[in-house]
Amino acid sequence: GKMSDDISGSHTDWLTLNIGGRLFTTTRSTLVSKEPDSMLAHMFREKDVWGNKQDERGAFLIDRSPEYFEPILNYLRHGQIIINDGINLLGVLEEARFFGIEQLAEQLEVAIKNSHPPEDHSPLS
């Protein structure tokens, strides 16, 4: 059934990303389906095409911030932007732009504009 396949991944392609030293396990479908035009989707659309380098455990190496990548991966999983208190939105925006996830970047820009009073546009949340 569909639900079983979605969750347990019995027919899906699992991969692990090594983002700046922290490991994230997900499916190729999560990286590719939600935002098919993003650079991240392009990187993982087809197996072994981009020549992504892997660490000794087989995790794909990406030289970016693990902390700010976390809400981005969740967004790709379920489509919601959910960010904890205390996490700097500018950090998430920076990663969204880097990975070319345009729709997410635009929503974050609006959220940043709304969450700060005009006089408080510092890079330090």
Shortest Cβ distance from residue 71 to its own copies (Å)?
A: 9
* Least spacing, CB of residue 28 vs its own copies, in Å: 10
* Residue 11, SS3 per DSSP: coil
Q: Which residues does 78 contact at the CB level (< 8 Å), separation at least 6?
A: none
For 96, the token pair is: 């969204």
Residues 83-122 that bind its own copies (CB under 8 A): 83-91, 94, 98, 111, 114-115, 122
H or E stretch including 98? helix 89-98
User: What spatial distance separates the first Cα and last Cα of the chain, rounded to whole Å?
Assistant: 45
- Which one among 41, 70, 72, 96 touches its own copies, defined by CB under 8 A? 70
Which has the closest alpha carbon to 109: 97, 117, 125? 97
Please state the closest distance from residue 77 (CB atom) to its own copies, in A.
6
Q: Interaction with its own copies in 32-61: which residues (CB under 8 A)?
A: 39, 43, 50-53, 55, 60-61
Q: Quick one: DSSP state of residue 59?
A: P
Joined together, the tokens standing for residue 89 give 């939105």
In the complex, the residues that contact its own copies under the rule CB under 8 A are 3-4, 7-10, 12, 14, 16, 18, 20-27, 30, 39, 43, 50-53, 55, 60-65, 67-68, 70, 73-74, 77-78, 80-91, 94, 98, 111, 114-115, 122-125
